[in-house]
Amino acid sequence: DAKTTQPPSMDCAEGRAANLPCNHSTISGNEYVYWYRQIHSQGPQYIIHGLKNNETNEMASLIITEDRKSSTLILPHATLRDTAVYYCIVRVAHSGGGADGLTFGKGTHLIIQP
Amino acid sequence: EAGVTQFPSHSVIEKGQTVTLRCDPISGHDNLYWYRRVMGKEIKFLLHFVKESKQDESGMPNNRFLAERTGGTYSTLKVQPAELEDSGVYFCASSLLLAGRYNEQFFGPGTRLTVL
């Protein structure tokens, strides 16, 4: 799996958009970008994933640069409940349903300020 | 629908004792994973079951750890004998087994294990 680099921490004001960057300069063609987060004292939670096109779901948007060497997770209207550690994970394309174990790095501790 | 459940939520044992952690995946999820986070470290993958079979156990730290998933439903992770460095939070996750799509992993709340 490609290595990812994320800032250790970020602050964002409540109600504003939170933009979390991730560098993955060694990503290969068949690797996806996945985002999970872990709210304090809970298990990790899936957010979104993408290959090369931008993706959006009810939780967030994922913007992947054209060269795929970096991406940004966007939480459009951050709330206090979005305070968590956010993990950017790059791994090979999922096989026929048998998704493998995830490799979590240190992630970014996002703190939403009231 | 119930999420992934883990039991117990906390366990405090002495070094050398045995502890068994249990995970009940979401109904219908054939993939089941164990992870752990030891103090100050990152979350690490331990192993992956597909139904009752071990698909990948490359993350198991040593032979003091034994995972089972008889019948392909719930799973247990036994630590015997427990050592101080086994202290941490043990997470279980499950996902569907559907081809052609990403099957996100749903995590349980974890079991906090303290070995004294």
d(CA B67, CA B57): 9
The Cα of B81 is separated from the nearest Cα of chain A by a number of Å equal to: 25
Rounded average pLDDT over A15-30 = 94
Q: Residues B4, B33: contact at Cβ < 8 Å?
A: no
Q: By CA distance, what is B94's nearest residue in A?
A: A99
Contact B108 A101 (CB under 8 A): no
Rounded average pLDDT over B30-35 = 94
Q: Residues A108, A71: contact at Cβ < 8 Å?
A: no
Contact B48 A101 (CB under 8 A): yes
Q: Give residue A96's pLDDT band: very low, low, confident or very high (50, 70, 90).
A: very low
B57-91: pLDDT as tens digits: 989 999 999 999 988 899 999 999 999 999 999 99
Strand runs (DSSP E) across A6-83, as ranges? Answer: 9-13, 18-23, 31-38, 45-50, 55-56, 61-64, 70-75
- pLDDT for A41 equals 86
Contact status of A29 with chain B (Cβ, < 8 Å): no
Q: State the average pLDDT for chain B.
A: 93
Q: Residues B7, B22: contact at Cβ < 8 Å?
A: yes
Q: For the sheet containing A55-56, what is the strand order? A: A18-23, A70-75, A61-64, A55-56
A50-75: pLDDT as tens digits: 999 899 999 999 999 999 999 999 99
First to last CA, chain A: 37
Q: Measured between beta carbons, which residues in chain A are less than 8 angstroms from residue B35?
A: 101-102, 104
Nearest CA among A105, A112, A111 for reference residue A23: A105
Phi-psi region of B39 (alpha: psi -120 to 50; beta: other; left: phi over 0): beta
Residues shown for chain B: 116
Q: Residues A2, A65: contact at Cβ < 8 Å?
A: no
8-state DSSP, B25: P
